[in-house]
Amino acid sequence: MTERTLKTISINDLASGMYVHQIAEQSGKVKIKSQGKVTNQAVVDTLRTKGVKKVVIDESKAFDPAPSSPTTDPDVPSPQQRASKPEYGSRSVRFEDELTRAQKLHKQGKSIQKQLLNAVQKGLPFDDKIPREFSHKLVESIDRNPDALLCLTKIREKDDYLLEHSLNVAILLANFGRFIGMDETQVNDLAHAGFLHDIGKIRIPDRILHKPGKLTDMEMNIMRDHVFYGVQALEEENIPAHLIRTVSEHHERLDGYGYPNGSRGDEISQEGRMLAIADMYDALTADRCYKQGMPSQRALQILVADSPHKLDKELVLQFIKCMGVYPVGSIVLLSNERLAVVTEQTENAHKPKIRVFYSARNNHYLELKDVDLAVTSTMRIEKAVQPGDYNIDVQAFFERVVNQ
C-alpha cells in the first residue's frame, strides 16, 4: 500500500499533476468538491475564482497529466462545455458587438419592470415567466461579455430610478454570481430575485419614496413596508420560496438591526447577503431627481465600512474584486487632465482599459482614443468623477463615447 503524504500549499503553488486531498482555506461560502486531480490550469483557475487560498495535496497520488485527461472536478466544465458556455470574464464577444444586444435588453428590462410595477400597484396578477426568461437573457449577455451590461448600469435617467434600480441590481448580481463561481441555475435565480426585489416600492406614497431629505420615524416605517408588499405580491404569484426568501432579506443586516425580521448572522442566506450588497451599491451610485449619485469608489468604501457588522465582509471584498476599483462605465480624470470611460478591467485593478473622450482643461470633446493603462506610463487615473461634475449630458455622452 502506498503511504499517503499530505502537504498544505498555497493555491499559487498548485499545478497540473497534483491531487487535491482537501480545501485548507477558502474565502466565501461557495461549496465545491474538495478532492480530485488537477488535470489542467483551468482547475486551478476555477478554485482560485471560488476563493480557495490553500489546499492540502496528496503527494503519493501525483500523476503525469495527459492533454486529453478528463477533469475529475464536476465544477470545472469539460472542453466541450467550455466551447458552448464561455468561462466568466472570457469575453467571447467584442464589447461593441455585445453592446448592441445589451442596449435592447436594457430597454426591454425597463419596459418589463414598468409592467410589473403597474400590476403590483393595481393589485393585479403578473406572469412571472416574463421576468424569469428576461433574467436568463441577462445572464447570457454577462457570459458573452459582462462589460456591455455593466456599462449600461452607469447610464441613468433621473426620473426612471425605480425602473432602472432593480434592473441594474439584477445585472450586478448576475456578474457577481458568475464571478464567485455559482452555477447557472444559482446565477439565474440570483438575477431573477434582483429583478423582482423592489416591486413593493410602487405601493409606497411618492411623497415618501421621493423625499429628498431624511425620513421621519413614521415615514421610515412606511418605507420599510415595501419589503412586505413585495413579498406579498410574489407569494400571490407562487414564486419559488427560495427566491421569495432572497427578496425578503435585502434589507436584513448581520448585526440584527435590519428589517423586516431583524434576522442576524447565519439566519440570512448567502443570496440575501449578496442582494443587500448590490442593492446598496446601486442605490448609492444612482442619480436621483433630488441628488447626484456618488462615485463608485466612495460607494465601495461605504460597503467596506459597513462590514463585517452589517454586511458580509468576505462577500463585500469579492464584490469589489468583481467590480474593480474603477468599475466598467466609470468616468475617470486622468493625470493629463482628460476624461475617459472605463471599458474593461485588467489584471491590475488600478489600471483598466479606458476610452479617452474629453478635455477637462479646455472643456470640449476629443477624438476617441482607446488606451490600456496597464501597458502605458504616459498617463494614470487621478480619481473617479461624475458626468455632472463637468456638465456632461449623460445621453450625449453615451451616444458619442460608448455607442460609437
Instruction: Give me the pLDDT at residue 287, please.
Output: 78
- Amino acid letter, 50: K
Superfamily of domain 95-323: Hypothetical protein af1432 (1.10.3210.10)
**Buried-state track 282-319, b at ≥16 Cβ within 10 A, e below 16:** bbbbbbeeeeebbbbbebbeebeebbeebbbbbbbbbb
Place of cell 456591455: 148
Question: What is the biggest distance separating any 2 CA atoms in the chain, rounded to whole angstroms?
Answer: 77
DSSP 4: P
Residue 395, pLDDT score: 64
CA–CA separation, 323 and 325 (whole Å): 7
Return the pLDDT at 400: 67
The strand pairing partners of 8, in sequence order, are 56
Q: Which of 286, 275, 102 is nearest to 193 (CA)?
A: 275
Sites in the chain below the pLDDT cut of 50: 1-2, 67-85
Question: Alpha helix locations (H) across 325-388?
Answer: none
- Least Cα distance to 351 among 366, 334, 367, 337 occurs for 334
What was the pLDDT predicted at 37? 84
Query: Could you state, in order of their start, the residue ranges of all structural domains in the chain?
Result: 6-70, 95-323, 331-402
| pLDDT for residue 75 | 38
The reported pLDDT for the residue numbered 382 is 94
Q: 88-130: per-residue pLDDT in tens?
A: 656 778 888 898 899 999 999 999 999 999 999 999 999 999 9
CA distances from 398 to 157, 182, 312, 342 (A): 12, 32, 34, 13
Whether the CB-CB separation of 385 and 339 falls below 8 Å is answered with yes
Placement of cell 455585445 in the chain? 98
| CATH 3.90.105 applies to domain 6-70 | yes
Query: 119-128, pLDDT tens digit by residue?
Result: 999 999 999 9
